[in-house]
Copies of this chain bind each other. A is one copy, B any other.
Amino acid sequence: MKTHISRRDWLASTAGIVGTLAASSPAGGQTPPTDTTKRPGAGARPLGSRSGFETPTRTAGSPAASQTPLQDLHGTITPADLHFERHHGGVPEIDPANYKLLIHGMVQRPTVFTLDDLKRFPATSGIHFLECSGNWFGRNGGPETTPQRVCGMTSQSEWTGVPLATLFREVGADPSATWFLAEGQDAAVMTRSVPMEKAWDDAILAYAQNGEAIRPEQGYPVRLFLPGWEGNASVKWLRRLELSDRPFMTREETSKYTDTLPDGTARQFSFVFDARSIITSPAYPEQIQPGWVEIRGIAWSGRGRIARVEISTDRGQSWQSANLQGPVLPKAHVRFRHMWRWDGGETEIVSRAVDESGYEQPERALLLAARAERNKPYHLNPVVGWTIQRDGRVFSQQDPTI
Listed in ascending order, the chain A residues whose CB lies under 8 Å from chain B are: 1-7, 9-10, 13, 17-18, 21-22, 24, 34, 36-54, 56-60, 62-66, 72-83, 85, 87, 89-98, 100, 102, 104, 109-114, 116-117, 120-125, 158-160, 185-187, 189, 207-208, 210-213, 215-217, 220-221, 237, 239-240, 292-294, 296, 325, 327, 329, 335, 337, 339
Q: Check if B114 sits within 8 Å of A37, measured CB to CB.
A: no
Among residues of B, the one whose C-beta sits closest to the C-beta of A288 is B120
Q: Check if B77 sits within 8 Å of A158, measured CB to CB.
A: yes
A interface secondary structure, majority: loop
Q: Quickly give the copy total for this chain.
A: 2
Cβ distance A173 to chain B, nearest Cβ, rounded Å: 15
Q: Please judge, given known A-B contacts A58-B45, A76-B158, A90-B40, whether A51 and B211 are in contact too, CB under 8 Å.
A: no
Instruction: Please report the C-alpha to C-alpha distance between residue A87 and residue B208 in the assembled complex, in whole angstroms.
Output: 30
Q: Check if A48 sits within 8 Å of B117, measured CB to CB.
A: no
Our pick among B63, B120, B211 for the contact of A78 (Cβ within 8 Å) is: B211
Q: Check if A36 sits within 8 Å of B92, measured CB to CB.
A: yes
Cβ distance A282 to chain B, nearest Cβ, rounded Å: 11
Our pick among B7, B62, B96, B211 for the contact of A44 (Cβ within 8 Å) is: B62
Instruction: Please report the C-alpha to C-alpha distance between residue A207 and residue B37 in the assembled complex, in whole angstroms.
Output: 20
Cβ distance A192 to chain B, nearest Cβ, rounded Å: 16
* A-B contact list, 7 entries, CB within 8 Å: A5-B102, A24-B98, A43-B90, A48-B58, A50-B212, A51-B216, A123-B296
Q: Check if B122 sits within 8 Å of A81, measured CB to CB.
A: no
Q: Check if B123 sits within 8 Å of A74, measured CB to CB.
A: yes
Q: Check if B17 sits within 8 Å of A51, measured CB to CB.
A: no
Q: Which 7 A-B residue pairings sit nearest by Cβ, starting from the closest?
A: A41-B90, A43-B63, A36-B92, A74-B208, A74-B160, A46-B57, A48-B81
Cβ distance A125 to chain B, nearest Cβ, rounded Å: 4
Residue numbers in B under 8 Å from A112 (CB-CB)? 2-3, 5, 21
Our pick among B93, B96, B110 for the contact of A42 (Cβ within 8 Å) is: B93
Q: Please judge, given known A-B contacts A41-B187, A110-B5, A112-B3, whether A47 and B81 are in contact too, CB under 8 Å.
A: yes
Residue numbers in B under 8 Å from A187 (CB-CB)? 36-41
Our pick among B3, B46, B91 for the contact of A41 (Cβ within 8 Å) is: B91
Among residues of B, the one whose C-beta sits closest to the C-beta of A113 is B2
Q: Check if A216 sits within 8 Å of B22, measured CB to CB.
A: no
Instruction: Please report the C-alpha to C-alpha distance between residue A243 and residue B9 in the assembled complex, in whole angstroms.
Output: 17
Our pick among B42, B58, B66, B189 for the contact of A37 (Cβ within 8 Å) is: B189
Among residues of B, the one whose C-beta sits closest to the C-beta of A44 is B66
List 9 other contacts, CB 8 Å, given A21-B112, A51-B216, A74-B212. Answer: A2-B112, A36-B185, A37-B187, A41-B187, A48-B217, A53-B96, A74-B123, A122-B339, A327-B329
Our pick among B1, B52, B75 for the contact of A114 (Cβ within 8 Å) is: B1
Residue numbers in B under 8 Å from A186 (CB-CB)? 36-37, 41
Residue numbers in B under 8 Å from A292 (CB-CB)? 120
Q: Check if A211 sits within 8 Å of B48, measured CB to CB.
A: no
Q: Check if A46 sits within 8 Å of B60, measured CB to CB.
A: yes
